[in-house]
Structure 1
Amino acid sequence: MVWELVRMLGGGAGRAGLIGIMAALLLLVAKLLPVGFGLLLLLLACLAGAVLLGKTRGLYIAHSALILFAGFGLLIHREEFGLIWMIWLVLVVAGTDVFGYFAGRIIGGPKFWPRISPKKTWSGTVAGWICAGIVGAGFMKLTGSGVELIGISVALSIASQIGDITESALKRRVGVKDSSTLLPGHGGVFDRFDGMLGAALLLFLVESLTEFPPMPL
């Protein structure tokens, strides 16, 4: 994703490859360190990559931080909570996207933000939240978690939509249709996982600041 980001920002193939490899290696090293040092290393990765870019370094810092911190959060989430909670996260994000798409196509209605994402509608947006709430309720029953899991699931749904919109805004600003052609017919990895980035980043904060999974009242 960092490789795609640098290419979108006009960094060229050589710089994109160098910064992408650096980001991947630093993420792996950060995982081996205590969290405090790992987060520091990721911030340094964002700044180091910006040195190699010109006028777009601000965009690089913001979006590379999203990618790296979300990736770090996913590594922590997988290690500490295991497969069942990874499946929950994937279903929340995928359900938001799928239900939002079909509800938007079937119901239609007012556009959410036509200048940035002309295909997204309010009906699809709300349908994504509803789907996430249903997933949260299902996993609440499955795992014996508290009712707060429903609220967390809907919040992650909103965060995934924000991640999607953020990447759409970036592509419009730099004038590209897809982040890359790595996935024929689907664009790039950044295109496919922009929603997961937003959700993973919020989940990282939730797990750092509160008890997760939430206990029953």
Structure 2
Amino acid sequence: MSDGKWGDLGPRAGSAVVMIAVGAVALWLGGIAFALLATLIVVLMIWELVRMVRPRHEVAARQEAGIVAVLFPLAILYPSFAVFLLLIAAGVLAGRTGTHMGLVALYTGGIFLAGLGLVQIRLDHGMGMALWLVGLVVITDVAGYFAGRILGGPKFWPKVSPKKTWSGTVAGWIGAVILSLIVAIWVYDWPMAWVIWTVPGAVALSLASQMGDIAESAIKRKMKVKDSSNLIPGHGGVMDRFDGMMGAGLALMLGLLVVHMAA
């Protein structure tokens, strides 16, 4: 089990258990605990992003992570100023990264907004929706991991993410749909009209999670690095682990915003 295509399964599973335990406690507590966890994840992702773009400037990575560590909690406390604070963060980081200004600004904005979205989802819609989103991302990743290694087959986007297969991608969608139907029917007892919309919604969020992963893969290939860092055994960095969560969180936040505006 320690060699070949399953060589990372042991450390990957051990790290996953720890992350699930920490995340479950934060989700249960909500409030400040969940906001602090989201802040930590966002700050570490920004630190990794700057380190990838400027690998020989560790001090700059720490400084820019420190800036976000101040601005992100302010955005949580004062959501009316969130866009303004986001523009400051993206502008400062992009202005200090030379030839990759656009990439850093765009990805910083995505990380910042997705983190805020996760906090707002937990705050406004309760632990149930937040837990469902986490479960959807996890099952997308797990189903894709095993199906991709067992079934193999054509690559989903070989130029960007050479390990991701169509079999793993579709398996992630199926897992997300099954989980969402279980939640909709047996947990919330939704009427059938709502349940029908669960299927395309689950696929869309699963795809958003996968696209978050692919977006990070594109950055890593551009910067010629294997992992965003080595903070998490078996997973690489925080960005390697939470890129899918950020993609799905951002998509769900935007979806809820559209529904709210249409209501």
TM-score class normalised by the smaller sequence: over 0.9
Q: In the alignment, what sits opposite 1:140?
A: 184
Q: Show structure 1 runs of 5+ residues with no match.
A: 212-217
Q: Against the structure 1 CA distance between its residues 34 and 104, is the aligned structure 2 distance closer, same or farther, given a 3 Å change threshold? A: closer
For the 8 Å contact 1:111–1:120, the answer to whether it is kept is yes
Give, in whole Å, the separation in 2 of the partners of 1:132 and 1:92.
5
3-state SS of the aligned residue for 2:163? Answer: strand
Give, in whole Å, the separation in 2 of the partners of 1:14 and 1:152.
42
Q: In the alignment, what sits opposite 1:76?
A: 120
Q: In the alignment, what sits opposite 1:95?
A: 139
For the 8 Å contact 1:140–1:150, the answer to whether it is kept is no
Q: In the alignment, what sits opposite 1:127?
A: 171
Q: In the alignment, what sits opposite 2:228?
A: 179
Give, in whole Å, the separation in 2 of the partners of 1:92 and 1:189.
18
1:108 alignment partner AA:
G
Q: Deviations over 1:144-180 (max 9, x none)?
A: 3422233222111000010001100100000111101
1:82 alignment partner AA:
G
Q: In the alignment, what sits opposite 1:215?
A: none
Give, in whole Å, the separation in 2 of the partners of 1:115 and 1:101.
19
Q: In the alignment, what sits opposite 2:244?
A: 195
Say if 2:53 is the partner of 1:9. yes
Q: In the alignment, what sits opposite 1:19?
A: 64
Give, in whole Å, the separation in 2 of the partners of 1:193 and 1:124.
18
Give, in whole Å, the separation in 2 of the partners of 1:32 and 1:144.
34
Give, in whole Å, the separation in 2 of the partners of 1:184 and 1:94.
17
2:100 alignment partner AA:
T
Give the percent of matched residue pairs that are identical in Structure 1 and Structure 2. Answer: 50
- Pick one of 12, 18, 31 that aligns with 2:76: 31
Q: Show structure 2 runs of 5+ residues with no match.
A: 1-44
Q: Deviations over 1:27-66 (max 9, x none)?
A: 110111134x212211221112212221121111011111
Say if 2:118 is the partner of 1:41. no
Give, in whole Å, the separation in 2 of the partners of 1:18 and 1:144.
49
Give, in whole Å, the separation in 2 of the partners of 1:19 and 1:157.
31
Give, in whole Å, the separation in 2 of the partners of 1:203 and 1:99.
21
3-state SS of the aligned residue for 1:55? Answer: helix
- Using the size of structure 2 for normalisation, the TM-score is 0.77
> 1:198: how far off?
0.6
11-20 vs 145-154, which moves further: 145-154
2:240 alignment partner AA:
D
Two-structure CA RMSD over aligned residues (Å): 1.5
> 1:7: how far off?
0.5
Say if 2:204 is the partner of 1:155. yes
Q: Deviations over 1:73-121 (max 9, x none)?
A: 0110111111111110011101111111111122222111122212111
